[in-house]
Structure 1
Amino acid sequence: MTRTVLVTGVSGHVGARVAIALAADPEIDRVIGVDTAPPPSPAGEDGAVLGRTEFVRVALRSPDLVKVIRDADVDTVVHLSLVSGPGGGRAGDTGGRPAMKEHNVIGTMQLLAACQRSATVRRVVVRSTTAVYGSSPHAPAVFTEDTMPVEVSHHGYARDATEVETYVRGFARRRPDVTTTTLRFANLMGPGVDSPLTRYFSQPVLPTVLGFDPRLQFVHEDDAVEVLCRTARADHAGVFNVSGDGVLLLSQCARRTGRPVVPMPSPAFRLVSGVARGARLVDFSPEQLSLMSHGRAVDTTRLAAELGWRPKYSTAAAFDDFLRSRGGPGELPRAVVDWLADLLTGR
């Protein structure tokens, strides 16, 4: 039985939701949320954002984390603190790529070392990403958990997640008595999700790579929270892909948004991405740029068989719910709009 849960990354949207959901479970005695800053309070609201979750301000790399785990007799650790880009959307996080890598990789190493030394930890759940498979013209149509990536990313979030999974496998070998679960999530969608992909689809003009129509998969934030809570409450050892059923082509996503599409050669697409990054609209990493060309799809049979559960939202339903939560197209800076107009008219 789960008694005391430690949740990392509670300043993030999903981390906060998971902590709140677990704290509401009467069968769980105590939930401790750790991060370098608490989640931001909704405007006009007072009181504890995390419900009865006990917030502890501590970095993953801090030796104080060992003390938190030991003193609270933590038996379950849910690690949700990996960030997908510099700044990562975490409260108080303004670091660049070096800080991101130190947090993701070194921080996870420190957390796993603390778990390894603990006499009480018996379950560890780690949030990972399907980005570990990469996106390539040589990739299989569908990735299973046992499929090796055709091209391994050497930078960014995908690289960090690959390294993190290596350390998780090492931890599982050293502590076979601890149930270790790795959840590889497709891109999250939902009203509360703020990511490079949700920002891309929120723009009034959608640049695409000429000649490519990638397959995309999404998982709704509600389903992500549900599967994380399920694996925190019961033993489900192994690696699992997590995605809503089905796929959407990028062209289908664009039609659903109602926004105009601007197909452009790959170099021009990368240039536009750079302009958008400079304007702080969309921060596309190299692996995300590859996704927009080659796409990616994963098989979730193992998850359904192990948990006896399927996501409530399909890929299409998750995307539609995200769109319903957005009031209308965002605004591009005038310089970007003029540049796109010149590109379309050939000037």
Structure 2
Amino acid sequence: MGAAGRVVLVTGVSRDLGRKFARAAAEHPRVARVIGVDVVPPRGDVGGMSFVRADIRNPVIAKVIAKEDVDTVVHMSVISTPGSTGGRNMMKELNVIGTMQLLAACQKAPSVQNLVVKSTTTVYGASNRDPAMFTEDMEPRRAPRSGYAKDVAEIEGYVRGFARRRPDVNVTLLRCANVIGPSVVSPLASYLRMPAIPTVLGFDPRLQVLHERDLLGVLGHAVSAGRPGTYNIAGDGVLTLSQIVRRLQRPTVPLPGFALGGLGGALRSARIADFSPEMRSLLTYGRGVDTTRMKDELGFTPRYTTAEALDDFAANVVPTGGRTDRLLARLEERLAERTALPEAPRG
């Protein structure tokens, strides 16, 4: 790092976690400037970040990197749900084509010395053939054929290709567990905020999470440490879904797996929760990851265990308890309200 400090470009700053990281990075004493990039401006306090409206699918991103003399790129714009993007095809284009263009721009830029990519443990999938804990060298037991998991697998392949072509760049790939926290909006957070929690009959999956503060912490650590490699990032320990639900003081509604899929479509249409195929697999089989490399090689230890992260999340969730049938009736009312078609104007 030069005496003047790092020049950091952060993608995906229109979303809350991207904005928070860019704002925190701008306050770091070893960072000179932070340029936040996205197609729409971020809402809320951006602090010392400079915002540039740009689409990373467009080659113009190379001009931004060259003009600003960027030496560190933090890629946070890989999205897990098509909800806000206009459908699955657009989501895939933003994720895969966007990453390809960003990496092409980084490859041409001699100023770039560090690349940090926020990936996800979803890349391992979730199946009945999984090991107790995935290490970074393991492959998913079933290769993803579609959706977010396939996007992530492709993105990681492109990142590895970039690392081979530019061996002079420190490339750090962070496979983050599901992020949770009081202000996090995500498929898992929306699911756990439901008044009655639908579960897969006969299964009690083990889950591991990462607190949002630890996500911001590990991104900052990766930028300053410059330790290349692939790392699982998660809080210590696992909890079963039944243990989590008890902590949240919520009733469960056990359903057969196919029924959960049908309910998921209705919940997604009503914008209550997003049950992607990856989410349904996780809620059936669970997933655990080994974080030895994160601690020993990356040199990062999360402040929150899985249990502590969920307790912090639970502190901001109103317990529902009570009778399940009453809660289901309320949920049905919400679904009906959200999915009802507007009345046609009378002639």
TM over 0.5: same fold? yes
Cα-to-partner distance string for 1:279-310 (whole Å, 9 max, x where unaligned): 21111111110111000000000010023331
Deviation at 1:327, TM superposition (A): 4.0
Task: Please say if 1:80 is aligned against 2:98.
Answer: no
**Residue 260 (structure 2) aligns with:** 269
**Residue 62 (structure 1) aligns with:** 58
**Residue 242 (structure 1) aligns with:** 233
For 2:315, what is the secondary structure of its paired residue?
helix
Cα-to-partner distance string for 1:166-195 (whole Å, 9 max, x where unaligned): 000000000000010100000000012101
Task: Please say if 1:104 is aligned against 2:107.
Answer: no
Unaligned runs of 5+ in 1: 42-48, 88-92, 338-347
Q: Is the 8 A contact 2:25 2:220 kept in 1?
A: yes
For 1:204, what is the secondary structure of its paired residue?
coil
| Ranges of 4+ aligned residues in structure 1 off by more than 6 Å | none
Cα-to-partner distance string for 1:206-246 (whole Å, 9 max, x where unaligned): 11111100000000000000000111112110000000000
1:99 maps to a residue whose letter is M
2:308 maps to a residue whose letter is A
**Residue 5 (structure 1) aligns with:** 8
> How many angstroms apart in 1 are the aligned matches of 2:171 and 2:273?
34
For 1:116, what is the secondary structure of its paired residue?
helix
Q: Is the 8 A contact 2:163 2:171 kept in 1?
A: yes
> How many angstroms apart in 2 are the aligned matches of 1:17 and 1:236?
23
Deviation at 1:328, TM superposition (A): 5.1
For 1:29, what is the secondary structure of its paired residue?
strand
**Residue 232 (structure 1) aligns with:** 223
Q: Could you tell which deviates more after superposition, 12-21 or 269-278?
A: 269-278
1:299 maps to a residue whose letter is D
Deviation at 1:61, TM superposition (A): 1.0
Deviation at 1:335, TM superposition (A): 6.8
Task: Please say if 1:202 is aligned against 2:202.
Answer: no
Deviation at 1:94, TM superposition (A): 3.5
Task: Please say if 1:53 is aligned against 2:49.
Answer: yes
Deviation at 1:156, TM superposition (A): 1.3
Q: Is the 8 A contact 2:135 2:232 kept in 1?
A: yes
- Mapping of residues 9-48 of structure 1, within 5 Å: 9-41=12-44
**Residue 331 (structure 2) aligns with:** 332
Cα-to-partner distance string for 1:31-76 (whole Å, 9 max, x where unaligned): 10000112223xxxxxxx2111100000001222111000111000
1:59 maps to a residue whose letter is D
Q: Could you tell which deviates more after superposition, 263-272 or 115-124?
A: 263-272
> How many angstroms apart in 2 are the aligned matches of 1:323 and 1:13?
20
Q: Is the 8 A contact 1:145 1:239 kept in 2?
A: yes
After superposition, the CA RMSD in angstroms is 1.5
Cα-to-partner distance string for 1:303-329 (whole Å, 9 max, x where unaligned): 100233310000011111111123455
> How many angstroms apart in 2 are the aligned matches of 1:335 and 1:55?
38
Number of residue-to-residue matches in the alignment: 325
> How many angstroms apart in 2 are the aligned matches of 1:333 and 1:67?
51
**Residue 44 (structure 1) aligns with:** none
Deviation at 1:259, TM superposition (A): 1.1
Deviation at 1:275, TM superposition (A): 2.0
Cα separation, partners in 2 of 1:335 and 1:176, compared to 1, 3 Å: closer
Cα separation, partners in 2 of 1:34 and 1:262, compared to 1, 3 Å: same
For 1:332, what is the secondary structure of its paired residue?
helix
Q: Is the 8 A contact 2:124 2:140 kept in 1?
A: yes
